[in-house]
Amino acid sequence: MTYPILKLNPGRERRLQAGHLWIFSNEIDNVATPLKSFQAGQVVQVISARDQALGLATLNPHCLLCARILTRDAKEIINVDFFVKRITQALNLRESFYSQPFYRLIYSEGDYLSGLIVDRYDQTLVVQMNTAGMQAQSDNIIEALKTALKPTRIILRNDSSYRLVEGLPQENSIVFGDDQDIFIEENDTQFSAPALDGQKTAWFYDHRANRAEFIKWVKGKRVLDVYSYLGGWGLEAAKHGAKEVICVDRSKIALEFLEKNATLNGVKVKTKLGDAFKLLQDLADAQEKFDIVIVDPPAFIKSKKEINQGIKGYEKLNRLAMKLIKPQGLLVSASCSLHLSREELLNVIQSAAQQNHGVAQVVYQGAQAYDHPVHPAISETSYLKAFFVRLGR
């Protein structure tokens, strides 16, 4: 099978040859291969200005990031078999270190399928297609997932903001199976999540390793879990011996599920509904103190232009959290903001400690779990930061 040619301007092949997967619209030779001649989602063969074959890519002519390499083999055919091969490679990686079928199965560029996310919850698969290229391959992807894993349910969570950039509708649906709650198991703790109404793809597997480390610290402690969602930090603390756990979230649905999950695990937690900043201030005004406070917020920084304002938000959040921690207590501070570096978050923590007239000791540094492999040429695939910080005077 032959695919239409997409030709690059002179010298624009270097980043691809270094391993990157992205091509931008200003790198295209619009005279030889005008972008307006292509359809969104189309598979193309990418060649250099010297007619060197660079691989196959999906294309969206309406985006600045207009093409994403699928394979370096220009002779490959993009069909069900291609996706079965990639999915099987990803599955083999996960099965090498997870004994139970709960993990992120496909992590976009990290698994060389740019724009595709698949989370596995035993026999339920939750799929997110964030690009026109992956959307155009949806039938092949679904068929490949059925072939490789034989799931009993596939859910589409195509409601991310990335789809708006790609000119795609935001919509959730069930490909097949029922709409019952999703069951999750992590670090010997069980959770249920709404099939269609939960955040993102229902769960946040990326902090799994950090939470596994965290449960070593919780026995007999009073714990505050801010931005708790379904209780990934708080419930795992309660399950592993915390004396008291309070979970804070602004989503009523999330807290309702968290309370159900507490019952599922035979533990008790308290919940507080509301804005994290206000509730933290209210707890400080009431002179509440905790042994451990977790602040794991959604991304405060969505683009580079938001960095300065976002850093102020992280600093305020960490400063408020520190006010609630007993001497020699533990702060767990995390960020999923791509545009906030590990060093910047550490500076935020240090600044917050100084403003509270305290000192900080970093006792653990964490990143995303093994099922979120980092593409070495794409820094954007490494985004998660977590610090466990012991606080003193």
Residue 3: how many other CB atoms lie within 10 Å: 17
Distance CA 102, CA 183 (A): 9
The distance of Cα 356 from the centroid of its chain, to the nearest Å, equals 31
Complete DSSP assignment for 65-131: EEEEEEES-TT---SHHHHHHHHHHHHHHHHTT-SSSEEEEEEGGGGT-TTEEEEEETTEEEEEE-S
Q: Which of 138, 116, 123 is nearest to 184 (CA)?
A: 123
Q: Which of 63, 66, 247, 336 is catalytic?
A: 336
Rounded Cα distance, 256 and 249, in Å? 10
Tokens of 198: 């939960």
Could you report how far apart the first and last alpha carbons of the chain are, in Å? Answer: 68
> How buried is residue 190: exposed, middle or buried, by Cβ count under 10 Å (0-12/13-18/19+)?
middle
> Measured between alpha carbons, how far is 46 from 5 in angstroms, rounded to an integer?
6
336 catalytic? Reply is: yes
DSSP string, 115-176: TEEEEEETTEEEEEE-SHHHHHTHHHHHHHHHHHH--SEEEEEE--THHHHTT---EEEEEE
Active site residues per annotation:
336
